[in-house]
């Protein structure tokens, strides 16, 4: 007889995935907030794919970089808090997908693209950014914020008293 995981195990693994990704976002956001020298300018200046002109223009503008830096720092922090607390989980997940997609577009791991920043490994098309983006899409498809998070305290129960996500 094939093994079939219980619904509790499945829900538990999804919650664990949400917490792990939430911690990663929160930590990255706080690390940037607490480092007065952190900036996205170098990352943006190495853009080589879609919207390259836009990202290079942002990198060349101190005012635009300041805005992007604050959006990045606070975005990561708030996404992380939302995922970890299960609060506004759907919006945090969508925001995380958008942010990770932007990271991927700025610096995709395609053959022939060389970046000045050291890489953590050798990647071809799929890197940790794309994997985390995919994991967030799983969490979007199978939400856990209402059953295992603060969303359950703020979301009205659906018809029949059943609660989802």
pTM for the model: 0.88
Q: Residue 122: what are its φ and ψ, rounded to 5°? A: -105, 115
pLDDT (mean) for 134-161: 83
Where residue 76 falls among pLDDT bands split at 50, 70, 90?
A: very high
Q: What number of CA atoms fall less than 13 Å from residue 154's CA on the CB side?
A: 9
Return the pLDDT at 96: 98
CB atoms within 10 A of CB 128: 13
Return the pLDDT at 157: 53
Return the pLDDT at 118: 63
pLDDT (mean) for 13-25: 97
- Whether 111 has a pLDDT exceeding 80, the answer reads no
Please enumerate in sequence order all residues whose Cβ is within 8 A of that of 43, keeping only pairs 6 or more positions apart, or say none.
Answer: 106, 107, 117
Greater pLDDT, 154 or 40: 40
Sign of CA dihedral 55, 25, 111, 125: negative
């Amino acid at each position: 007889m094939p093994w079939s995981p219980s619904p509790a195990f499945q829900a538990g693994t999804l919650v664990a995935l949400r917490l792990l990704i939430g911690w990663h976002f929160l930590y990255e956001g706080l690390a940037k907030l607490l480092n007065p020298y952190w900036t996205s300018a170098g990352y943006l200046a190495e853009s080589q794919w879609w919207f390259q002109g836009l990202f290079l223009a942002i990198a060349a503008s101190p005012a635009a970089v300041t805005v992007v830096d604050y959006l990045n720092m606070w975005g990561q922090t708030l996404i992380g808090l939302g995922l970890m607390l299960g609060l506004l989980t759907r919006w945090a997940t969508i925001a995380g997908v958008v942010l990770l997609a932007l990271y991927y577009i700025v610096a995709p791991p395609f053959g022939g693209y060389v970046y000045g920043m050291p890489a953590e490994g050798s990647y071809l098309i799929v890197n940790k950014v794309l994997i985390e983006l995919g994991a967030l899409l799983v969490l979007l498809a199978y939400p856990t914020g209402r059953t295992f998070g603060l969303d359950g305290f703020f979301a009205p129960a659906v018809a029949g008293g059943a609660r989802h996500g």
